[in-house]
Chain A
């Protein structure tokens, strides 16, 4: 297990390094003069020169990368061109909003998909099964931002039950009310992917001999399903849920815009419009590193749950 963890941590370091290279390269891949673009179309040659100096673009490329990495290791992500504030500060204030949205969404996705998938599998080839699968198909095909808008229209504008947008005061009841619609809009999409997986895994396991044995022992059906079958179906579900969490981190970009949720995604979109590259780079780094960390946790959990991986 230790060898596996060490190997997996090594992969994480490589991935994080690669992510920093991509984030660093973004500025250099801009067609045209990046200093001119960031300073603005109407900037004077002096302003462009100053911007170039401020960003360190006049130094050799490898020195720029070393400076960039040095800054990152000291928690310095640069200064936002749009707001003039420290990017690290912006990231720290916005990251919790994105993270909580993704966590609540994956919780919704797992709950919906486990209940839906198990019900569909235990009612195989019935109306309930077909209805669940149809729902999953629509869920996969529906744009998350449209789902968000429709939920907003119904529950906020028409019924007035929930707030339209924003985050409210963090960690109060008001915040929880603000969190419901964006996390449902996001979580239902992932649930649609997961429900098919839960169903197919459960169908396979429900035909196993040990399930028949459990039933023949006279165990209650719910006990057989949730303790014997679901427990064994859990390994691929954990992997997939982990992957979905990564996608949710990306998906927050769109949903945050719909609900004016003040997270990293909105910061990134606003920064793309303002060509504020230090902020874009910071947001990309945070989201990609989070994605890599989630993958690491998933792999370790997977190894913990499945001894075949631990000992291979």
Chain B
């Protein structure tokens, strides 16, 4: 499918359009956070502690008198960064492993795929917790943990695609004109795997943002005073009885962004890869 055709189909897919709009809004908010946010993310107004939503603080304030709207706006930067970096790790290691395992086969494929099976024998969040337990709590370690969790998922999917692509005639043709294995992988196999990679990346981004928020909520990710949505929710838990807004709005923010990536992933899957109906988490 040509790029123009994909764009045309994308423009008529409601899910994809809504998802893209949500992601675009989040991106704009994240980039222009200092200009949009009414206050600094860590600016304390001790006289305004736990204030409900008002004209001055549209989403209320937290236990330190910090403006929740401003913290949520700055928090979008952290959520997107965690999502992108962790998926980058998953892609950067998972895709080459899947491509080479599928293309070369043999003992190499056996070793790689059995390693992947071992990683897949852990429920995802548990694997992330194992990595955090080893490296210690912290934002960067959470990104690595979620990245490691994504590796087997990308490897398995890309290997599957590579196995079917390498049987195609154009690969035989590329070989017959003397193209080397790595050139064939990069120039022939990889471009043909891009559609499912794109779909999976979007859906995994949603999972990555959710999981990072969960780890931060547990106190294993971003540390105070970083305006992280998961950490904000965790702090708000203590004030749930007296300040409902403190936990409610960061949760809505997480749901909004995750919804965007899920919708985009669903839309892209309908357009690019209707066969890929597996449940991806």
Chain A residues close to B by CB (< 8 Å): 15, 18-19, 22, 26, 29-31, 137-138, 140-146, 149-150, 152-153, 157, 193, 196-197, 200, 240, 243, 246-247, 249-251, 253-254, 257-258, 268-269, 271-273, 277, 280, 284, 287-288, 291-292
Q: Assess whether A141 is in contact with B121, with CB atoms less than 8 Å apart.
A: no
A288–B262 alpha-carbon span in the complex (Å): 28
Indicate if B130 sits at the interface (CB-CB under 8 A): yes
Known: A141-B259, A268-B129. A287 touches B251 (CB 8 A): no
CB distance from B190 to the nearest CB of A (A): 29
Which label, helix, strand, loop or mixed, suits the secondary structure of the B interface?
Answer: helix
A161–B249 alpha-carbon span in the complex (Å): 24
Choose from A19, A146, A150, A250 the contact partner of B125 (Cβ within 8 Å).
Answer: A250
Number of B positions contacting A (CB below 8 A): 42
Indicate if B7 sits at the interface (CB-CB under 8 A): no
A249–B122 alpha-carbon span in the complex (Å): 10
A141–B219 alpha-carbon span in the complex (Å): 21
Q: Assess whether A137 is in contact with B262, with CB atoms less than 8 Å apart.
A: yes
A197–B247 alpha-carbon span in the complex (Å): 32
Known: A269-B218, A272-B132, A272-B133. A250 touches B121 (CB 8 A): no
Which residue on A lies nearest to B132, using beta carbons? A272
Q: Which of A137, A141, A240, A269 has the most CB of B within 10 A?
A: A141
Choose from B117, B122, B123, B134 the contact partner of A26 (Cβ within 8 Å).
Answer: B134
A273–B217 alpha-carbon span in the complex (Å): 14
- Contacts of B251-281 to chain A: CB distance below 8 A: 251, 254-255, 258-259, 262-263, 277, 279, 281
Given A152-B240, A272-B220, output 17 extra A-B contacts at Cβ < 8 Å. Answer: A15-B117, A18-B117, A19-B122, A141-B210, A142-B255, A157-B240, A193-B281, A200-B277, A246-B123, A250-B123, A250-B124, A254-B125, A257-B217, A280-B133, A284-B122, A287-B123, A291-B122
A254–B230 alpha-carbon span in the complex (Å): 12
List chain B residues, Cβ under 8 A from A200. 277
Query: A-facing mask of B232-249, CB < 8 A → 1, else 0?
Result: 010011001100100110
Q: Assess whether B118 is in contact with A253, with CB atoms less than 8 Å apart.
A: no
Indicate if B214 sits at the interface (CB-CB under 8 A): yes
- Contacts of B133-173 to chain A: CB distance below 8 A: 133-135, 137
Choose from A22, A29, A247, A272 the contact partner of B124 (Cβ within 8 Å).
Answer: A247
Q: Assess whether B130 is in contact with A22, with CB atoms less than 8 Å apart.
A: yes
The 5 closest A-B pairs by CB, nearest first: A250-B123, A146-B251, A141-B259, A18-B118, A141-B258
CB distance from A283 to the nearest CB of B (A): 9
Q: Which of A143, A288, A291 has the most CB of B within 10 A?
A: A143
Q: Assess whether B124 is in contact with A145, with CB atoms less than 8 Å apart.
A: no
A25–B279 alpha-carbon span in the complex (Å): 31
CB distance from A282 to the nearest CB of B (A): 12
CB distance from B270 to the nearest CB of A (A): 13
A197–B236 alpha-carbon span in the complex (Å): 35
List chain A residues, Cβ under 8 A from B281. 193, 247
- Contacts of B212-228 to chain A: CB distance below 8 A: 213-214, 217-220
Which residue on A lies nearest to B242, using beta carbons? A157
List chain B residues, Cβ under 8 A from A250. 122-126
